[in-house]
Structure 1
Amino acid sequence: MTATGRPATRRQMLAGTGALGLGIAFSGALSELFAGTAAAGTLGRAGYGPLVPDPKGVLDLPEGFRYRILSREGDPLRSGEGPVPSNHDGMSAFEGRGGRVHLVRNHENRHNGRIPVPAVEGLTYDPAAKGGCTALTLDSRNHVLSERVAIAGTAVNCAGGPTPWGTWLTCEENEDKAGTNGYAKDHGFIFEVDPVDPHRTGAVPLTAMGRFQHEAIAVDPRRGVVYETEDAFEKPFGLFYRFLPHRPLGGRGSLRAGGRLQAMRVPGVPDLSTIQDIGAAFDGIEWVDVPDPQAAQTPIRLQDFGRRGITHAQKLEGCYWGGRSVYFVSSFARTGEGSAADHYGQVWRYDPERRRLTLVVVFGPDTDVQLPGESPDNICLAAGGGLMVCEDGEGAQHVYGVTRRGEVYAMARNRQNIGGPEEPEWGEFAGVTFSPDGDTMYVNCYTPGTTFAVTGPWRR
């Protein structure tokens, strides 16, 4: 999600061209994004109303909403295993017994991370790596009952996704090999995490799912196919993958049985950034076996996929399943960084039955600089029929909501200033997710690492 050495942001570029009055807005078939969700909960133009400044200077929310801080970096883990790690990122919520909720939260720590995930026997892959996940158990009122390490010794745990059988797949956005940055083992894998008892899953890399700069996953709940995005920072950019398990929908641990990893080829389209027209659709999508999923000598995106090549895209990030299709996000594309064309964000839909890929939403200059578009990142389907988007860029950082009619509204604003009084700076949001009953939105602030539970009149 957060990358070092980021070039000029959209807001900076707009200011430099005198176009600061422009902004980013959604356009396209917004109804596509809500496939398979409840029809209730469509909001008016104002969403839930304007954000109310938080007197504590932590989190601004609309009137009637309130937040509870569940966990902050540096505080002691309730398990006594060490401090809460830094760099809160991807997250998901799972239903527990008696109204309990289990949260699994990624920590995107690199080799020089501020507060590492504590090493725990039986849960640590590489003692030299500082990333991993922590797990929280909450009661029905969002009081924290437990907080502990769920996996340690992994690197740059960015996003991931839930499985239909109730586990979390955490993704390493890193492809360093043993000996690089002090690591003792190869990195760039997916790991399965049991939110109730992490020792059931341990710290076993799912090597058949590929070794690359993973971002997010989504599982087809009918076929068991796992879709994966790759957020590669340099050209050639990442690929969109599918993993065909030998034991589809086999439950906890079944992905260790292996499978086939394939990459998407859109005939005639080597770079998705060149497609700019909303509704553009491509039939006959091809899936090509990855020559070496372990990337023993060559990163997958650089491997030989034959004379017809493979399809790349910059900043492939969020990924989720809706209805009968998988959706994935390209946060932005910049020709100055190697993309074939520029855009401010795309959402693509792939229908596996029709083998059809469609560009359903784009972000582009429109009306208001405060609308989402500063690198749209995590996307979450809300239980009430809406969409939540985490903003990842410079300046003020928001969680935005989008109604079924395509109306955009601010849902939350981070007020924790990590800069100075003259040059304020705010950390991005990440890991937005909802409780199984839809009554609570959970979301992370990346820096300082903070996990919030937001409650209020969601069904208004």
Structure 2
Amino acid sequence: MLSRQGDPLRSGEGLVPGNPDGMAAFRGHRGRVHLVRNHENRASAALGVPTVDGLTYDQAAKGGCTALELDSRGAVLGERVAIAGTAVNCAGGPTPWNTWLTCEETEDKAGTNGYTKDHGFVFEVDGADPRRTGAVPLTAMGRFQHEAVAVDPRSGTVYETEDAFQRPFGLFYRFLPEKPLGGHGSLRAGGALEAMRVPGVPDLSAVQETGASFGGVEWVPVPDPLAAGTPIRLQDFGPKGITHAQKLEGCYWGGSSVYFVSSFARRSEGSAGDHYGQVWRYEPGRRRLTLVVVFGPDTDIQLPGESPDNICLSADGGLMVCEDGNGAQYVLGVTRRGEVYTMARGRQNTGTPQEPEWGEFAGVTFSPDGLTMYLNCYTPGTTFAVTGPWR
């Protein structure tokens, strides 16, 4: 265990915030590792991220990120605030220049929930030196209920998921930066935001068969990325419409493709089909979208394989997936052949012996050398390191 909510931050800035979510690990000097960790705190959170001068966007918001520094043996050297004053920081993704893009999963504007500024943005965070990035919203990347991002290390294109809670559900986006792969601060230069249209597929939940594949994927310019009057998913994308999906969450780049997750879909909530979770792969070079994994048992959601959330590339070239569902919570592995297996189970019971409850896993990521897996338990907020071997 590396960190626990409510304990003092080693920086002296306050207490470790609650609700740790998305996370990434970056290489530091002399074998050190920098972990940057989201805190998905709303305005009502009891353990918010402490505000720090120069690192705070909105004094009224309680979300943000903390950063841990580990030595070459994995011991914690430091723990500090990396950004504060943001809202509902759910997931995000690493950049090729070793910064973290943290995502606000909200569309609240100034004046809502006591906020003094608009929210729903992506922010860049440098875990080694947070003051290099500060607290500047990357407005051109859109204002919506962000979940996660993944950067194509060849082109610099940034892919983004939207976890919208009501119909019409979220979209899958790509952001084309003015300065692709430009390094620290380059994303502030702006760019173009587009949404994915899969011809003939208005709702991804209607696709149920593993291996189903769709060519000719189109990208449609977003009319108003700042959503000044209308949320993006409700804007007019022309007579052909746009492709939606319920609970778009984890997003990760691997090989020559971007992978993204739909945690579940329910007809009763307005989706075209029912499922316990999907993993999709988009190949930019071929403009092709393929359903690579379908999760979940048909009858018993207490069994593993329900509601996948955060996702990352595993050391063996497959995937690691965090569960966020009912019953026992697992970290699941997915082999290159698409087989799902259980890797770890949460044992922190937040309920009673008679009616146990377990917090979701989140933020799964590997150390730069691939020898350690890091992950968070959302409730109670805990960060773990799991050593291999990961051959």
TM-score (norm 1): 0.83
Letter in 1 for 2:47: I
Say if 1:173 and 1:369 are closer, same or farther in 2 by CA, change over 3 A: closer
Which residue pairs with 2:93 in the alignment? Answer: 161
Mapped contact 2:296–2:304 kept (Cα < 8 A): no
Which residue pairs with 2:345 in the alignment? Answer: 413
2:63 counterpart of 1:137: no
2:302 counterpart of 1:379: no
TM-superposition CA deviations, 1:49-71 (whole Å, max 9, x none): xxxxxxxxxxxxxxxxxxxx111
Letter in 2 for 1:343: H
Q: CA deviation at 1:166?
A: 0.5
Q: CA deviation at 1:371?
A: 5.1
Which residue pairs with 1:319 in the alignment? Answer: 251
Cα distance in 2, alignment partners of residues 415 and 228 from structure 1: 32
Structure 2 residue corresponding to 1:443, chosen from 367, 375, 383: 375
Which residue pairs with 1:426 in the alignment? Answer: 358
Q: CA deviation at 1:372?
A: 3.6
Cα distance in 1, alignment partners of residues 320 and 212 from structure 2: 24
Mapped contact 1:281–1:359 kept (Cα < 8 A): yes
Structure 1 residue corresponding to 2:185, chosen from 231, 253, 256: 253
Match runs of 1:2-151 below 5 Å: 69-151=1-83
Structure 2 residue corresponding to 1:332, chosen from 256, 264, 268: 264
Say if 1:358 and 1:401 are closer, same or farther in 2 by CA, change over 3 A: closer
Mapped contact 2:64–2:83 kept (Cα < 8 A): yes
Which residue pairs with 1:308 in the alignment? Answer: 240
TM-superposition CA deviations, 1:419-445 (whole Å, max 9, x none): 122211111100011101111110100
Mapped contact 2:49–2:85 kept (Cα < 8 A): yes
Unaligned stretches of 5+ in structure 2? none
Which residue pairs with 1:183 in the alignment? Answer: 115
Cα distance in 1, alignment partners of residues 338 and 279 from structure 2: 14
Q: CA deviation at 1:263?
A: 0.5
Q: CA deviation at 1:315?
A: 0.5
Mapped contact 1:210–1:293 kept (Cα < 8 A): yes
Instruction: Please give the root-mean-square deviation of Cα atoms over the aligned residues, in Å.
Output: 1.4
Instruction: Give the secondary-structure state (helix, strand or coil) at the position aligned to 1:365.
Output: coil
Mapped contact 2:259–2:281 kept (Cα < 8 A): yes
Mapped contact 1:371–1:408 kept (Cα < 8 A): no
Instruction: Give the secondary-structure state (helix, strand or coil) at the position aligned to 2:2.
Output: strand
Letter in 1 for 2:316: G
Mapped contact 2:297–2:305 kept (Cα < 8 A): no
Cα distance in 2, alignment partners of residues 214 and 404 from structure 1: 28
Cα distance in 2, alignment partners of residues 406 and 291 from structure 1: 37
Say if 1:170 and 1:381 are closer, same or farther in 2 by CA, change over 3 A: same
2:327 counterpart of 1:388: no
Count residues in correspondence: 391
Cα distance in 1, alignment partners of residues 74 and 350 from structure 2: 27
Greater relative contact order (CA < 8 Å, ≥ 6 in sequence): 1
Which residue pairs with 1:48 in the alignment? Answer: none
Structure 2 residue corresponding to 1:297, chosen from 229, 239, 251: 229
Instruction: Give the secondary-structure state (helix, strand or coil) at the position aligned to 1:129.
Output: coil
Unaligned stretches of 5+ in structure 1? 1-68
Mapped contact 1:427–1:448 kept (Cα < 8 A): yes
Letter in 2 for 1:279: G
Q: CA deviation at 1:370?
A: 5.9
Letter in 2 for 1:174: T
Mapped contact 1:214–1:229 kept (Cα < 8 A): yes
Query: Which ranges of 4 or more aligned residues in structure 1 deviate by more than 4 Å?
Result: 366-371
Letter in 2 for 1:182: G
